[in-house]
A and B are shown apart, each in its own frame.
Chain A
Amino acid sequence: MKKPLPKKKSILVIEDERALLDVVNKRLGKKGFEVITARSVDEVFNATLDDNGLGIISVSSIQQALDYLEDLENVDAIWLDHNLLGKENGIDFVKKLKANGGKWQNIPIFVVSNTEKSGTIQSYVDLGVSKYYIKSNHKLDEIIADINTTLDSV
């Protein structure tokens, strides 16, 4: 009997450092996530989408991320950096996402940040993110493996 292929998980990656974003995208792609790379809405819808198909949607500002969420229904998870381009940070993003209500309420959010201030971490926990990783404590592959495990156990 043929088993249907498992659906690829798609993940929205929000990270302001482009060089790191590229690597995260590559790694997630290798681990079987679907991949899109972009830093602007135009890039996603006009260029990269055609090249890569649906999957990881990477953005570097909160407005972009919210635009994507409006348009792309099937985001299974969000990889979120704390410090982002522009004035708003990851906490602002989570607040907006949760404020948008039902539809996006339950997307698991994985914060991956250089910040280890307990107040910042507590804010994310209070907002209901799934996990908080401090970048300097984990290799990227460890974080990806852990996200995979967490998503599989849901």
Chain B
Amino acid sequence: MIKKPTNKKVVLVIEDERPLLQVIEAKLTGAGFDVISARTVDQGLHYMEEVDTIDAVWLDHYLFGDKTGLDFVAKLKSSDSKWKHLPIFVVSNTASKDNLRSYIRLGVSKYSVKADHKLEEMTQDIKDFLDSPQE
């Protein structure tokens, strides 16, 4: 039997730029999270199916391959999805109003523009969100 080694919260980070991914992983790990990283929408969806311990998702908009973060969110937030209530934090430089509206409409927990927010702040936001009582 495999026992879960810790009760750390697990964040799936979907980000295709390796250097940025490494910084995000370091920040989240430093804040007490376990991180699992993916570089494409499909890889992220595979991990959703395979790793049943994921507590939240950190999502970039533009990703490797031809799918964007919106495809990922649409899939997770669809009406028959078992992950409907999983918090998703979109962190992207592409703050086009259309994209932003789409993400909000699909029900992401928060949308942040990379340039405006330090990664520490994002990490803290996720922490605060997961620590606060959920409905």
Contact = CB atoms under 8 A, between A and B. Distances in A.
Given A18-B6, A22-B2, A22-B5, A135 B36 contact: no
A114 B4 contact: no
A86 to B, nearest CB: 12
Interface in B5-31: 5-6, 8, 10, 18, 22
B47 interface: yes
Main SS class of interface, A: helix
B2 A136 contact: no
Interface residues on A, range: 20 to 34
Contacts, number: 57
Main SS class of interface, B: mixed
A26 B2 CA distance: 7
Interface string A130-154: 0000011001100000000000000
A37 interface: yes
A64 interface: no
Interface residues of B, number: 27
Nearest to A18: B34
B47 A20 contact: yes
A37 B1 CA distance: 10
Contacts of A128: none
Contact of B4 (A22, A29, A140): A22
B77 interface: no
Contacts of B36: 17, 19-20
B53 interface: yes
Interface of A: 17-20, 22-23, 25-27, 29, 35, 37, 39, 51-52, 83, 114-115, 135-136, 139-140
Q: What 3 A-B pairs have minimum CB-CB distances, sorted nearest first?
A: A136-B43, A19-B36, A19-B10
